Chain A
């Protein structure tokens, strides 16, 4: 083993410096400090430190896998080097902070931040030593993980992720468990002892790490056999298995509000409204390929029509005082109409230009809602108050837990419609149009009709979401309908996977649900969005849950479609049957 080993150390340094720059950046914008209030493992490591460690780990991991090649020594060396580079940039920041006061320019370069970065050490030399050592150790660990055999490597990564996720969400888990004191007691060792400390306990972290790691390792060994076994089951039991799991999901969904409690149910309703919007926008952007940046307009129209027709506030010139259910179809209908009205002028506009025009449309609606001109009719900046709640019999959909069910029904309905449309003649026309507008037209697709249909259906989803939103809040203001809602809806379908219906749900949970749970993120929401979008485009452009292409040629043979061909291409049939 005396052969000389070489590696491209310059490349490792480069990757490390990029990571270091990111680490310095997140420190200086205040993210590390803001996250430091939450512990991942109580008393050991905070979320802020975890963020820095995560940057160090992933950068060193990247260096190890890109530079290290197949040689484990090179992997360790490049990982360590990259880790050192990350640490040295942070050291640079700390030293700079000691020499000059950075605060006048960089507000977040505060004493608490430096305390975090320096592990609360006073002595400069010792600090530098500690920091560099930490960086090197992290890099070494990343290199070690990278040189593990694939199965073990995946298990370790999964275990690390689970520890961080459980640490992050421990509050949520505890709230969920409150109805069951026994369970709470049984798992209390997992979490931090005192109430003001958050995060996992040391023991909890170790158990989760080992548990998840071992489970993942074993499962990755069993998975192929289990899958083949399942595949070998007779179709009837496969079907009952599928129905069984669906039933379980249904029960869980129905029971969820009781599990979540009021605050988390509130989060769930927000996520639900976004899912509904995402499903609609997915039809417009994902299926039909029409980039719509003014999607909030239809949301606003749905909300305003609902508000206008049901308000009992009496500040407007008109007073309808309809019930929610009377107003709902009108609200959705108005959105559809608006979708068509927007659609007509943009029929011949494609791509970027379409995005700009729709962007303008969204702003026009918001500004109209704010305008003095329409103030007597729709309330101007004061908005509309006392929007009716939905009622069925004695049930009032007033709080999050009841609204949850209404939104759940709307989402299920939306998902069902989207699924059905996707595999229909109209859905194919949308996708053909997305792929190549000219050729789609040459295949006999009426572009005018197809485009308007996409805008109209998309608007219906958004209008429905808006109408429920208005009733949920009880009051609506123009500023609730800003561009950010369009951006959110678009971002969640990009992250979830363009054109994918489960992707919309995953995207909404990730982009709307998570930030609601981690309120520390709030300030940095847009930054994280931007980062996530860039990362997604670079490493996983197909999204978290990409659209699956259905197996139709061979699979559908089982459904045995029979009957005469619809197109009487006399020759085709005879040519095929005569054994071409």
Chain B
């Protein structure tokens, strides 16, 4: 069953077509990767899904409900969360507060309640703290919650970004190059962690990734974009042997060689 559906999506910037007539079908509880050379429109796709860009044509459906025209915060409430290619944490806030902000959409207390500290507000804050601590522990940041986000090491920042995204209790989690800038060891850990996320939490994951080992290792489906157009889609094995994909990445003529090696 598909949870996220992108239908005939078109996004243009002036004369440039960033995404042209894209169809995408993300199955529930899948790990679905989107790959493609630089400038293929992967992050633009993420920005359209999360409401930062308004697509010119087409529709995006989450469990059958259209997301087009909604603001990013409304879309988050519907159950989509994301991380960023270049980490975008709330740098001057402690790690745990970053997660607490992620919980925002599930808390209710307003300013008046905050001033008077109504028992319900206090309870809610305590629960939120408990939950934030749990999430930190879950991503492996137990004990680092009081450090400012900017003071965390790179790998931890990536994990914190995921914890913050998880806090909003998403149905679909969009990860934009989660292993970018990581060493092989960290990459292996992150890959395992993403798998763990899906297996333990049952969250659907849409992944942009450049590291082919990661992509081929954990995805059920891979979609390849080039110049905003889908050029291939299928299980990893199919994609690996797809000549068009290899050409898109490495240029014409190299395709055949790589195919031999893969075989």
Q: Contact residues of A with B, CB < 8 Å?
A: 416-417, 420-421, 423-429, 431-432, 435-436, 438-447, 453, 457, 549-556, 559, 561-576, 580
Beta-carbon nearest neighbor of A422 in chain B: B114
- Contact of A442 with B104 in the complex, beta carbons under 8 Å: no
Interface presence of B227 (CB below 8 A)? no
User: Across the interface, which residues of A come within 8 angstroms of B136, CB to CB?
Assistant: 553
Known contacts: A420-B115, A552-B146, A565-B127. The answer to whether A428 contacts B97 by CB under 8 A is yes
- Contact of B104 with A429 in the complex, beta carbons under 8 Å: yes
Interface presence of B124 (CB below 8 A)? yes
Known contacts: A428-B100, A566-B128. The answer to whether A572 contacts B138 by CB under 8 A is yes
Interface presence of B202 (CB below 8 A)? yes
What 9 A-B pairs come out closest when comparing CB atoms? A553-B145, A444-B105, A424-B114, A561-B126, A571-B201, A444-B76, A435-B90, A566-B127, A565-B131
Beta-carbon nearest neighbor of A552 in chain B: B96
User: Across the interface, which residues of A come within 8 angstroms of B97, CB to CB?
Assistant: 428, 431, 552
Least CB distance from A1 to B in Å reads 45
Beta-carbon nearest neighbor of B142 in chain A: A553
Cβ < 8 Å to A, chain B residues 136-169:
136-138, 143-146, 148, 164, 166-169
User: Across the interface, which residues of A come within 8 angstroms of B12, CB to CB?
Assistant: none
Cβ < 8 Å to A, chain B residues 97-112:
97, 100-107, 109-111
- Contact of A567 with B109 in the complex, beta carbons under 8 Å: no
Interface of A is mostly: helix
User: Across the interface, which residues of B come within 8 angstroms of A551, CB to CB?
Assistant: 146
Q: What are 20 A-B residue pairs whose CB atoms fall within 8 Å in the complex?
A: A416-B115, A420-B117, A424-B114, A425-B104, A426-B114, A431-B97, A432-B104, A439-B84, A440-B101, A442-B81, A443-B102, A445-B105, A447-B73, A457-B111, A549-B93, A553-B146, A565-B131, A566-B127, A575-B138, A575-B196
Most buried by B among A553, A573, A575: A553
- Contact of B200 with A442 in the complex, beta carbons under 8 Å: no
Least CB distance from A575 to B in Å reads 5
Least CB distance from A550 to B in Å reads 8
- Contact of A439 with B88 in the complex, beta carbons under 8 Å: yes
Task: Give Cα distance in the complex from A291 to B256, angstroms.
Answer: 59
Known contacts: A552-B146, A561-B126. The answer to whether A567 contacts B131 by CB under 8 A is yes
Task: Give Cα distance in the complex from A242 to B78, angstroms.
Answer: 46
**What is the 8 Å Cβ interface bit string for chain B, positions 74-99, against chain A (1 contact, 0 not)?**
00110001101000111111111100
Task: Give Cα distance in the complex from A445 to B77, angstroms.
Answer: 9
- Contact of A549 with B90 in the complex, beta carbons under 8 Å: no
Known contacts: A421-B115, A425-B104, A553-B96. The answer to whether A441 contacts B126 by CB under 8 A is no
User: Across the interface, which residues of B come within 8 angstroms of A549, CB to CB?
Assistant: 93-94, 146, 148
**What is the 8 Å Cβ interface bit string for chain B, positions 193-215, against chain A (1 contact, 0 not)?**
00010001110000000000000
User: Across the interface, which residues of A come within 8 angstroms of B146, CB to CB?
Assistant: 549-555
- Contact of A432 with B101 in the complex, beta carbons under 8 Å: yes
User: Across the interface, which residues of A come within 8 angstroms of B72, CB to CB?
Assistant: 438, 441-442
Interface presence of B133 (CB below 8 A)? yes
Task: Give Cα distance in the complex from A421 to B121, angstroms.
Answer: 12
Known contacts: A436-B88, A441-B72. The answer to whether A567 contacts B103 by CB under 8 A is yes
- Contact of A431 with B127 in the complex, beta carbons under 8 Å: no
Least CB distance from A449 to B in Å reads 9
Interface presence of B33 (CB below 8 A)? no
User: Across the interface, which residues of B come within 8 angstroms of A428, CB to CB?
Assistant: 93, 97, 100-101, 104
User: Across the interface, which residues of B come within 8 angstroms of A447, CB to CB?
Assistant: 73
Least CB distance from A421 to B in Å reads 6
Interface of B is mostly: helix
Q: Which of B52, B104, B111, B114 contacts A438 (CB 8 A)?
A: B52
Beta-carbon nearest neighbor of B197 in chain A: A571
Interface presence of B34 (CB below 8 A)? no
Beta-carbon nearest neighbor of A424 in chain B: B114
Task: Give Cα distance in the complex from A436 to B168, angstroms.
Answer: 17
Q: Which of B81, B125, B135, B168 contacts A572 (CB 8 A)?
A: B135
- Contact of A425 with B107 in the complex, beta carbons under 8 Å: yes
Task: Give Cα distance in the complex from A549 to B111, angstroms.
Answer: 21
User: Across the interface, which residues of A come within 8 angstroms of B169, CB to CB?
Assistant: 567-569
Known contacts: A453-B111, A549-B148, A575-B200. The answer to whether A442 contacts B50 by CB under 8 A is yes
Interface presence of B129 (CB below 8 A)? yes
User: Across the interface, which residues of B come within 8 angstroms of A445, CB to CB?
Assistant: 73, 101, 104-105
- Contact of A552 with B103 in the complex, beta carbons under 8 Å: no
Interface presence of B38 (CB below 8 A)? no
- Contact of B134 with A564 in the complex, beta carbons under 8 Å: no
Least CB distance from A483 to B in Å reads 29
User: Across the interface, which residues of B come within 8 angstroms of A453, CB to CB?
Assistant: 111
- Contact of A571 with B202 in the complex, beta carbons under 8 Å: yes
Interface presence of B123 (CB below 8 A)? yes
Cβ < 8 Å to A, chain B residues 225-254:
none
- Contact of B166 with A572 in the complex, beta carbons under 8 Å: yes
Beta-carbon nearest neighbor of A559 in chain B: B126
- Contact of B50 with A552 in the complex, beta carbons under 8 Å: no
Interface presence of B71 (CB below 8 A)? yes
Task: Give Cα distance in the complex from A423 to B111, angstroms.
Answer: 11
Interface presence of B130 (CB below 8 A)? yes
User: Across the interface, which residues of A come within 8 angstroms of B138, CB to CB?
Assistant: 572, 575-576, 580
Beta-carbon nearest neighbor of A575 in chain B: B200
- Contact of B90 with A439 in the complex, beta carbons under 8 Å: yes
Beta-carbon nearest neighbor of B91 in chain A: A435
Least CB distance from A92 to B in Å reads 47
Task: Give Cα distance in the complex from A551 to B95, angstroms.
Answer: 11
Least CB distance from B86 to A in Å reads 11
- Contact of A554 with B105 in the complex, beta carbons under 8 Å: no
User: Across the interface, which residues of A come within 8 angstroms of B96, CB to CB?
Assistant: 552-553
Least CB distance from B106 to A in Å reads 5
Apart from A429-B104, A432-B90, A580-B137, 15 more pairs, CB < 8 Å: A421-B114, A425-B104, A428-B100, A432-B101, A432-B104, A436-B88, A439-B84, A443-B73, A443-B76, A445-B105, A549-B148, A550-B146, A553-B132, A561-B127, A571-B201
Task: Give Cα distance in the complex from A19 to B53, angstroms.
Answer: 54
User: Across the interface, which residues of A come within 8 angstroms of B105, CB to CB?
Assistant: 443-445
User: Across the interface, which residues of B come within 8 angstroms of A574, CB to CB?
Assistant: 200
Beta-carbon nearest neighbor of A427 in chain B: B114
Least CB distance from B118 to A in Å reads 11
Known contacts: A424-B109, A424-B111. The answer to whether A444 contacts B134 by CB under 8 A is no
